[in-house]
Structure 1
Amino acid sequence: MKSSRRLGLIMIISGATLWGISGPMIQWLFDHTSLTSSSYLVVRLLVAGVFILAFLFFTNQNIFGIWKHPSHWIQLIIFSVLGMLGAQYAFVETVHISNAVTATLFQFLGPVLITIYVAIQKKKLPSVIQSLAVIAALSGTYFLITNGSFEDVILSKQAILFGILTAIGFAFYTLHPAKLIKQWGTTVIVGWGMLIGGIVLFLSNQQYAFHHLAKTLTISTFSMLAIIILSGTLSFVFYIGSLKYLTATETGLLSSIEPLVAAIVSITWLNESFGGYQLLGGAFIILAVIFLTIPEKETESSLATEHVSR
């Protein structure tokens, strides 16, 4: 195995593992503090955004050029608010009101929604493999929500709503900034997206107060918050870095370990329990993503696996 390919495999597996672990850590943080989804996200987005942009600036990359083009920065703001902030908020709120595994599995429906969107946009029926992916995803969602029976729905209406919004948000997150990323690079767009999203959330949350944040955090919970921010940022860096050495198909396939890691950590650390049909639903959703990574042509099907949702 070439050293570059080995490095790529290590990076994507590390990135997917860190993201899978971050969900249960966020759940633990909510269980041990009075933090809301908004207060957590303000800190997470601002710190991560500043960190990424500062790293780019000190490595002599052009982070301000996009602001010279009105059509580009308008699209950047739309992405920041609806894509970055929208997807992140829906994901974190799903963790808050249900659990980390459920949120991660709903996130994995994003590539399936992209497949459906592209088929409608191009007025072309999905391929057999893509159709199997959609069927597997719908079946998985049914089992995840109902545990096998509509009469015994496991998730609350609020959890289902935010779970669906998570899938939609991550699909939008992937599709909308495609031209911006091609022009300015993924890291620049995501860095600004995090910073702008954090600023918008802070300004829109009039009850937000840093003294309340300081009051609710202990040494252990503050340490956990710092670890979550660091692991989330590193997972993004590793994921993006792996694309230099691996194909989108390979990264999409290997990123499927995220919900598996989240499930293992949640069961062993948080003592979460899941019904047999829910676990089957999770397997179906992961299978759907695997179907989408089966190469046909380097078309939109590969884009569906590139959900750089870190």
Structure 2
Amino acid sequence: MNRPTRKTGLFLVITGAMFWGVGGTVAQKLFQQFAIDINWLVTTRLLIAGCLLLLVQFFVKDRSQILGVWKDRKAAAKLIIFGLLGMLAVQYTYMASIKHGNAAVATLLQYLAPVMIIVYLILRRQAVLTKQDLITVSLALVGCFFLLTNGSPSQLSVPTPAIVWGILSGLSVAFYTLYAVPLLKQYDSLVIVGWAMIIGGFALSFIHPPWRLDLSSLTMEAYFYLIFVIIFGTMIAFWFYIESLQSLSPKETSLLGSLEPLAAVLTTVIWLKEPFGIFQWVGTACIIGMILLLAINRKSS
């Protein structure tokens, strides 16, 4: 198979990031206009996207890894933990934050994960506090303050449940990122993420089976949004991002990945017409600035 060109890599990472960001806004539309149950959406999204990612692995990459990961008991145990405490936690908390607030705030709060990782590594004495860390954490804190209060400390501009779920989403991403490292060194990312999605979706099926929804009551518009969230906002977004690493450096993919929160904010404000104050835009700029700072200073591998 020919290695993708740089232009192809740029297209893939930009498209993947945009799909991720817009996918959150489309999920918000499903919650608000069509009263889609969050448990059902997360379950269905994980199961279908996970199966599709494993299909991509089967036809495009090393298919032996799909079942091979389960022959390694240690890796299998880690994969189950990753699927439940990593993948399921990330997906559910993110969607819950969207449901109680909006996609813009949920996505920006989720992007606090790198700061949480920095703080964790410093507390564990696995990293030393640097000037860049101080700037990064400061941008995150100032950004959150303006984003959540719109400049008025006495009043939150975002519902409390949305903030709580959003912070939990950031914590889940931090765990997801750190815990996945050993697994991703052994197996292809499509295998690990695909199985993790299926594990998370299967577990949530006991709470809300995916077949328990009257799909006949949904409009064609709702079906279109569902397909977008599951296929484009989850499966293709992840696949494109991973594929872009074949022709771009991790630094470049991280940098262009910051288009996700920007896409989420713009579509939430312009398409869904969510109110966004001037100080919330300042907070958004601080958080995106933090992401860019981290991406620019990350060593290429």
Counterpart selection for 1:77 from 68, 75, 80? 80
2:239 corresponds in structure 1 to 237
Deviation at 1:236, TM superposition (A): 0.6
- Select the residue among 169, 174, 179 that pairs with 1:176: 179
Structure 1 position 290, deviation (Å): 1.2
Question: Hey, what's the Cα distance between the residues in 2 that align with 1:201 and 1:57?
Answer: 25
Which is further off, 23-32 or 208-217?
Answer: 208-217
1:56-67 equivalences under 5 Å are 56-59=57-60, 61-62=63-64, 63-67=66-70
Contact 2:44 2:210 in 1 (8 A): no
The equivalent residue for 1:308 is: none
Q: Work out which of the residue numbers 286, 289, 293 in structure 1 matches 2:288.
A: 286
CA distances 1:145-193 after superposition (whole Å, capped 9, x unpaired): 1111221111222111101001001111111011111101111000000
**Which SS does the other structure have where 1:237 is aligned?**
helix
Question: Could you say what secondary structure the match of 1:150 adopts?
Answer: coil
Q: Post-superposition shift, 1:58?
A: 3.5
What residue identity is the alignment partner of 2:223? F
Gaps of 5+ in 1: 303-310
Per-residue deviation, residues 196-238 of structure 1 (Å, max 9, x unmatched): 1000000133xx4624342442222112101211112111111
Which residue, out of 146, 150, 157, partners 1:147? Answer: 150
Query: Aligned partners of 1:296 and 1:193: how far apart in 2?
Result: 27
Given that 1:130 and 1:291 are in contact with CA atoms closer than 8 Å, whether structure 2 keeps it comes out as no
Q: Deviations over 1:108-128 (max 9, x none)?
A: 111121222222233543221
C-alpha displacement of 1:130: 2.2
SS at match of 2:108: helix
Supply the distance in 1 between the matched residues of 2:126 and 2:82 (Cα, whole angstroms).
25
Equivalent positions of 1:85-164 (< 5 A) are 85-164=88-167
Aligned to 1:265: 267
Query: Is residue 3 of structure 2 the alignment partner of residue 22 of structure 1?
Result: no
Write the letter of the residue equivalent to 1:18. Answer: F
Letter in structure 2 aligned against 1:57:
F
SS at match of 1:271: coil
The answer for the alignment partner of 2:10 in structure 1 is 9
Q: TM-score, normalization: structure 2?
A: 0.93
Matching residue's letter, 2:23: S
Q: Which secondary structure state, in structure 2, belongs to the residue aligned with residue 210 of structure 1? A: coil
- Residue 146 of structure 2 contacts residue 282 of structure 2 at CA under 8 Å; is this kept in 1? yes
8 A contact 1:91–1:107 mirrored in 2 = yes
> Which structure 1 residue ranges, 4+ long, deviate > 3 Å from structure 2?
none
Spell out, residue by residue over 1:256-304, the C-alpha distance to the aligned partner (whole angstroms, 9 max, x if none).
1112111221222111110111111111111111111233656xxx8xx
> What are the residue-to-residue correspondences of 1:212-231 with 2, within 5 Å?
212-231=213-232
CA RMSD, Structure 1 to Structure 2 (Å) = 1.8
* SS class of match (1:274): coil
TM-score (norm 1): 0.90
Letter in 2 for 1:194: M
Query: Counterpart of 2:186 in structure 1: which amino acid?
Result: Q
Distance 1:200 1:14 in 2: 30
Q: Is the 8 A contact 1:130 1:292 kept in 2?
A: no
Residue 294 of structure 1 aligns to a residue whose secondary structure is helix
